[in-house]
Structure 1
Amino acid sequence: MAKFPENFLWGASSSAFQIEGAWDEDGKGKTVADYNSFKRSHLQADSKVASDFYHRYQEDIKLMKELGLKIYRFSISWARIIPDGDGEINQKGIDFYNKVIDCLIEHGIMPVVTLYHFDLPYALVEKYNGWEARDCVYAFERYAKVCFQAFGDRVKYWQVHNEQNLMIRVDERMNINESDPWKADKIRAQMDYHMFVAHALAVNACHELVQDGKVGPAVSSTCTYPSTNKPEDVWAAKMNDWFKTNYCLDMHYTGEYPGYYMRYLEERNIVPIMEEGDKALLKSAKMDYIALNYYRTLSVSYLPVDEQNPIGSRVFPTNQVDFDQYGYFKHDKNPHLEASEYGAQIDPMGLRMVLNEYYQRYRLPLIVTENGLGTADVLTEDKKVHDDYRIDYLRDHIQACALAIEDGVELFGYSPWAVMDILSSHQGFKKRYGFIYIDRDDHDLKNLERIKKDSYDWYKHVIETNGGAL
């Protein structure tokens, strides 16, 4: 039987642009996420309505209460608080999040807040090309302080950036439009560095402004297996983990790039511009915990350089997230794992491994802030969703959490993705993750009715029994 601490924080997660809707209501500005969703609006749903949480938050929080959630992990939209990113504060935006936070607390649910989840105010792209400019760092620091001052009396757990380590690999999310790979990587490296500086400023501001505040990053975790036991492939697997996640956590923890990553930046001639005083700042910002998002594992082999492809140059075989890198790694399919219909290989053991890896490496408390199965659920004629496949997925991953706790990992919460069906960046409402079905299609809003799936009742029982009902 799975065993969890008495005070274990069972929750569920979402993000602003994927759930709120009301994309330009009450003074909110356009975001990069809005801009990108509108480009695909002829093919799928966009962020204009999403799940309509903005207008239905009271109804939705009642459903969260009935589910038994101890925490709700959600993000604040920067452009709802400061529509152009660095200008006037929008009081109506602050009012909305105050109402959400108060409603959660009234229903006995602890708010856990992410400051930035893929939705940079688009005005900052137009002014500075976003994170490429140092101005964006200080705009973010100001925004973070506004949030800490407005909500910090009630919100004690904060995440700064959601999946910086993954976000930086997706040109669309970073608004990188450079066709030359070297120039694109140079811009990417500078943006990544500026986000590290912004993270440090926000961590220090949280500790200064929020009494008993806890703050840290939410990373996209990476667990990679070697495709063979050849030493080169074993090394490639380690490098894939290090390049895609561990370098980021190391930067947050130590305040400086690890040696292998600095060597890569130098090999590619893309070392970012660093200002005097940055090193001390980065070292001063101490994260209190690590939030991690986990969906899959990867398998790689060594990719040697050749005449056309120097060391460190990259190739994107299917998508930008799983890039191959010459002199380091090449992705392969793992024949020992099944995959979801969207290609993510399902591997609960990998979750146990990353929890152990990060705890042994950093000795900081951990919380899982995303983990789930995205698929095309079917609503029956009698308005039921029989998602046994999701129950199986979550059961196996929760058991992996229990085993990690037995291993000695200090895991204090599990908040899967997602509390309800929300807008998927590239699959709209075809790809559903939620415990609650939102009755809408990509281009037909229907009535947006909230319908409990079978997984809702199952997870409710898991929470009631503190994991004993797995």
Structure 2
Amino acid sequence: MQQRLQQERFPEGFAFGAGASAYQWEGAANEDGRKPSVWDTFVHSRNQSNGDIACDGYHKYKEDVQLMVETGLNAYRFSISWSRLIPNGRGHVNPKGLQFYKNFIQQLVNHGIEPHVTLYHDDHPQYLEDEYGGWLNRRMIKDFTAYADVCFREFGAMSNFGQRSTKLTYSPLEVTMGSTPPGRCSPPGCSSGNSSTEPYIVGHNLLLAHASVSRLYKQKYKDIQGGSVGFSVHTLGFTLLQAPRMMNSLYKEPKLSSLAGEMLGPLTFGDYPDEMKTAVGSRLPVFSEEESEQVKGSSDFIGIMQYLAASVTNMKSKPSHPDFDSDMGEKYDVNPWAMEAVLDHIKQSYGNPPLYILENGTPMKQDLQDTPRIEYLQAYIGAVLKSIRNGSNTRGYFVWSFMDLFELLTGYDYSFGLYYVNFSDPHRKRSPKLSAHWYSAFLKGNTAFLVPKASPNCKQLLFFLLVMLHLIYCDGSFLVKRFSSVR
């Protein structure tokens, strides 16, 4: 597998990177003028683990960029903390926050790493949530557009920054369960909220905000900076629960449309899919004719966050209290075919737009010997390559995540990182996992994975491999019998 999966087989200019987000990586939650985001309020109000320090990336960004260089990344995806740059959400720009991002971006550029910037990663200022309800209110569109204008003006002219400028993200599954800020869902799960309507209202306002920002960039900055503006969605590969799990068994409608189509439909065609309108009914917001025209074609690319496959069943009866979860009706299962299925579906149904895989990875307990993650990455990167050969317009792949982070749903219990972070160490020491060595070897064109010499566990693995080679050389019948017994 390793010899066949080489970076050189991907198109010229293909972006290979990794990523993190501001709240999960930066720390310095109360430093240099930053004010609380909805994430700060959410975790502290529930006495949960938090990102107050996280990886301390705010102070260790130079060290982290050096790790990116050593790994061989040609791109890095990160987000800007709105409440660090504009603490109250609008108005006063925080000079220290502004300087931090300028320094970080310049550090990336100086080392030949292309910045891929996410302007919003579920962490808007708490001030706006308190004032008018955040994304449930259309006032958010104006404030987000003004925030984006500051980012374009201050960072867009920096070398290479403007290539991929804006990525709005939206996870309706998390919104409806109340498991992320602002923690709203239908009672009794939450003290306030309406899972039947609010996820669709939030998604609708996000689309309108994206269209507004896209229009601003094209009118004011694109001719000067030459950048692009895109929208990101969480996707799942679907198969019917009753059907065999085959590579081409993608259940396309109406279930896939309920997730990806909620965003990709309006972005491509200016409106929600008909099957979604039928399923959701009056709970689904309606675009005016002007809004439809603004949203349609507003994304220069689509960002994909792909982790899971889902098996779905046809729902014979409607639930007594419909909400986003019941509209979906899925069960999760991890399979690399899901990546191919999603990319093929977008190619076939949405005009084959430029795509970036912005998040793809697997969670594990913190462990330097993360062999399952290597197997996962090999399979999914291989699926991306196969999709490209089948005509998908995919232009980049980013591992989630570059290092262990404060994970938004699991805190510090599970991690996605290529690099281990010792969160018990005040200095947050970083150490490469096996997956970091594998990804580095892949990016640098090595045809075989070199086992690191420093780790005692790796020495044990090397000893085991030598024993196996001895068995093969001295008594090949051992392995023949062994495999025969398994079969």
TM over 0.5: same fold? yes
1:87 aligns with 2:91: yes
Structure 2: distance between partners of 1:250 and 1:177: 25
**Residue 374 of structure 1: CA displacement?**
0.7
Return the alpha-carbon distance in structure 1 between the equivalents of residues 252 and 395 of structure 2: 28
Which residue of the partner structure matches residue 295 of structure 2?
282
User: Which residues in structure 2 correspond to 1:207-286 (within 5 Å)?
Assistant: 207-208=218-219, 209-210=221-222, 211-229=225-243, 238-266=253-281, 269-272=282-285, 277-283=290-296, 285-286=297-298
| Partner of residue 326 from structure 2, selected from 310, 318, 324 | 324
* Residue range with higher mean Cα deviation, 169-178 or 361-370: 169-178
The answer (yes or no) to whether the contact 1:165–1:245 under 8 Å persists in 2 is: no
- DSSP 3-state at the match of 2:395: strand
1:437 maps to 2:425: no
Q: Give secondary structure in 1 for the equivalent of 2:344.
A: helix
Q: Counterparts of 2:146 and 2:46 in 1: how far apart (Å)?
A: 32
Structure 1, 256-265 or 130-139: larger mean CA deviation: 256-265
Pick one of 349, 358, 362 that aligns with 1:369.
358
Tell me which amino acid in the other structure corresponds to 1:450.
R
Aligned residue identity for 1:346: V
Structure 2 residue ranges without an equivalent (≥5): 450-487
Cα offsets for 1:92-117 (capped at 9, x unmatched): 11111000000000111000001100
The residue type equivalent to 1:160 in the other structure is K
Aligned position for 2:209: 198
Structure 1 position 164, deviation (Å): 4.7
CA distance change for structure 1 residues 164 and 355 in 2, over 3 Å: closer, same or farther?
same
Deviation at 1:468, TM superposition (A): 6.0
Contact 1:51 1:438 in 2 (8 A): yes
The answer to whether the Cα contact below 8 Å between 1:28 and 1:80 also exists between their aligned partners in 2 is yes
Mapping of 1:36-435 within 5 angstroms?
A: 36-42=42-48, 45-154=49-158, 155=161, 156-166=163-173, 168-171=175-178, 172-176=180-184, 178-179=186-187, 183-208=194-219, 209-210=221-222, 211-229=225-243, 238-266=253-281, 269-272=282-285, 277-283=290-296, 285-305=297-317, 309=320, 313-314=322-323, 323-325=325-327, 330-332=329-331, 345-361=333-349, 362-378=351-367, 385-435=368-418
Q: Structure 2 counterpart of 1:159, which letter?
A: T
* 2:485 corresponding residue in structure 1: none
Q: Is the 8 A contact 1:118 1:167 kept in 2?
A: no
Task: Answer whether contact 2:136 2:202 (CA < 8 A) is retained.
Answer: yes
Whole-angstrom CA distance in 2 between matches of 1:242 and 1:468: 40
Q: What is the aligned partner in structure 2 of residue 24 from structure 1?
A: 30
Give TM-score, length-normalised by structure 2. 0.82
Which deviates more, 360-369 or 417-426?
360-369
Equivalent pairs, count? 428
Instruction: Provide the identity percentage.
Output: 29
Q: Is contact 1:168–1:192 with CA below 8 Å preserved after alignment?
A: no
Residue deviations 1:250-299 (CA, integer Å, cap 9, x gap): 11122222222223343xx324375673233223x531111101111000
Q: 1:367 to 1:274 in 2, by over 3 A?
A: closer
Instruction: After TM superposition, give the deviation of residue 410 of structure 1 in Å.
Output: 2.0
The whole-number CA distance in structure 2 between the counterparts of 1:374 and 1:410 is 27
- Choose 1 or 2 for highest CA Rg: 2
SS at match of 1:47: coil
Q: 1:275 to 1:300 in 2, by over 3 A?
A: closer
Superposed CA RMSD in Å reads: 2.4
Per the TM alignment, residue 324 of structure 1 is displaced from its structure 2 partner at its CA by 2.5
**CA distance in 1 between partners of 2:124 and 2:193 (Å):** 24
Structure 2 counterpart of 1:456, which letter?
A: A
Contact 1:216 1:291 in 2 (8 A): yes
Structure 1 counterpart SS, 2:391: coil
Unaligned runs of 5+ in 1: 315-319, 333-343, 379-384
What letter is aligned with 2:337?
Answer: M
Secondary structure of 2:414's match? coil
Q: Which amino acid aligns with 2:181?
A: R
SS of structure 1 residue aligned to 2:400: coil
**AA partner of residue 190 (structure 1):** I
Contact 1:236 1:301 survives alignment (8 Å): no
Q: 1:386 to 1:221 in 2, by over 3 A?
A: same
The Cα offsets for residues 113-168 of structure 1, whole Å up to 9 and x where unpaired, read as 01100101111110011111111110001001111111111312123312355554
Change (3 A) 1:401 1:279: closer
Indicate how the Cα distance of structure 1 residues 189 and 8 shifts in structure 2: closer, same or farther if over 3 A, else same.
closer
Amino acid at match of 1:357: H
| Equivalent residues of 1:14, 1:74 under 8 A apart | yes
The answer as to whether partners of 2:14 and 2:396 remain within 8 angstroms in 1 is yes
